[in-house]
Amino acid sequence: MSSTSEPLLELRGITKRFPGVLALDQVSLQLFAGEVHMLMGENGAGKSTLMKVLCGAYTADEGEILSEGRPVAVRNAADARALGVAVIFQEYSLVPHLDIAQNIYLGREPLNRLGLIDRARLHADARAVMERLNLDLDTHREVHGLGVAQQQMVEIAKALSQKARVLVLDEPTAALSDRETAKLFEVIAELRRQGVAMVYISHRMDEVFSLGDRVTVLRDGKYVATLPAGEATPDQLVTLMVGRKVDMSYQRAERPVAGACLLDVRGISAASGIRDVSLQVHAGEIVGLSGLVGSGRTEVARAIFGADAITVGDVRFEGLPLGGSPMLARRAGLGLIPESRKQQGLALARTVCDNLLLAGLGKLFPSRLYRPRKAHEEGRKRIEQLRIATPGPHTPAQSLSGGNQQKIVIGKWLVADTRLFIFDEPTRGIDVGAKEEIFRLIDQLVHKGCAVLMISSELGEVARVCDRAYVMKDRTVAGELQRNQLSEANLLRLAMHHG
């Protein structure tokens, strides 16, 4: 790849708007033949949106795409394929019960003189594509019997069969072992030799420096910089990704000294993939659980709460084993505010009052005799306490805003006398005003002696709100940061294993 040659493909001044959101603002990117171009940025920086514009899933509101210097229209996926653009997403698009050859040429099967599929040629063509990648797989094998890494190779072979000139790889090593990752890198090296231009989205610094020719950083939907990977440093890239937000100027009000250890997680591993996770949360403190998407944060929360079985290690609450089920966790005093409040936290068709009382029915009605007046009074009390904006306690929960729905999910655990709250992405999808109210509520909880474990993709929130934070990487704890160490840059360095 030569920077003096003409780009194979160029995105110039790309802008994309969604209702209330400027997702991309005048972003440009040049891709050269035989280049691995690393694309970096925090979660929400605009990487995926830019690639969706490139592959025709979104249409840009402003800007243009040029192929070898000529402006081209990319209105849909077919236009992108005609330009030779292929994307390997983290969720593969293969048909499980078809074989490898059928998947590679699905919808483009070679036909014989009778108009029937020429199976011999189909498999011969598929083997030829696999050989280009130095892959030795039986093209008659059905895809459902392949491992994740092998399915990924089939996706790449499928892209090559479509004469892809530009290949986009979105976090391709997220689910791969070290050995599988090494094989992928061999394939990428072969594609580079064949002149394929590649966009490689990754949060892993070691991949940036071992694979990349150049690296482009996006932040908040804007282009920040492009520089040769060999001239960049990890600290430089972290600073570019985080930008001006890297400071410790925000000082939240001091909290009382943390009390006794409530939650003690000792070397747990689970079938969900987390391994050897240890952490502690004391009364009166907010402990962050940070890390990039896919690092295992939610899986830790589910294992602690008993939703996922623990295979090794144990979880203790006030020194006693929790027992390994959500019912026992709730009885002990734990509450989980899940990432997906609509799917896992609310009964959407039920009323605000019904949802608020859901976790505390046993406490409110120990005789098991439901008393509507008492339920109504308790519901109104919590609505006022949490300042839930609702026409009344009998309004369906599904009709409220995201921020008010989140308050309901928190409120149901208040009714149950919860002492340890696990918040999984507590501010996702809610507006700035609602976020501040959620933080105020969390602060009130710890001042009353409760404990909070807060999972968040927003590094600024973790740095701003938490007393300590554990950082996850590759489904285990990469490190712990104390209050005086909490900053976006430090969190990001640990998440990328450059501490």
- Segment 272-287 shows an average pLDDT of 94
Domain 261-495, CATH class in plain words: alpha beta
**Length of the chain in residues, anyone?**
499
DSSP letters, 276-330, are SEEEEEETT-EEEEEE-TTSSHHHHHHHHHTSS-EEEEEEEETTEE--SSHHHHH
What is the model's pLDDT at position 434? 67
Residue 232's CB is within 10 A of a number of other CB atoms, namely 21
pLDDT higher for 452 or 437? Answer: 452
Give the closest residue to 145 by CA, choosing from 105, 96, 88, 92. 96
Report the relative pairing of strands 320-321 and 310-317 from DSSP bridges. Answer: antiparallel
Give the closest residue to 441 by CA, choosing from 472, 410, 398. 410
Residue 481 has pLDDT above 90, yes or no: yes
Burial of 442 (0-12, 13-18, 19+ CB in 10 A): buried
Residue 212's CB is within 10 A of a number of other CB atoms, namely 22
pLDDT higher for 495 or 429? Answer: 495
Q: How confident is the model at residue 499 (pLDDT cuts 50, 70, 90)?
A: very low
Lowest average pLDDT, out of 48-52, 200-204, 210-214, goes to 200-204
* Residue ranges matching CATH 3.40.50.300 in the chain: 9-244, 261-495
Residue 12 has pLDDT above 50, yes or no: yes
> What is the C-alpha to C-alpha distance for residues 479 and 268, in angstroms, rounded to an integer?
16
Topology of domain 9-244, CATH: Rossmann fold (3.40.50)
| Segment 104-156, tens digit of pLDDT | 999 999 999 999 999 999 999 999 998 888 888 899 999 988 887 888 889 88
pLDDT higher for 429 or 469? Answer: 469
Residue 376 has pLDDT above 90, yes or no: no
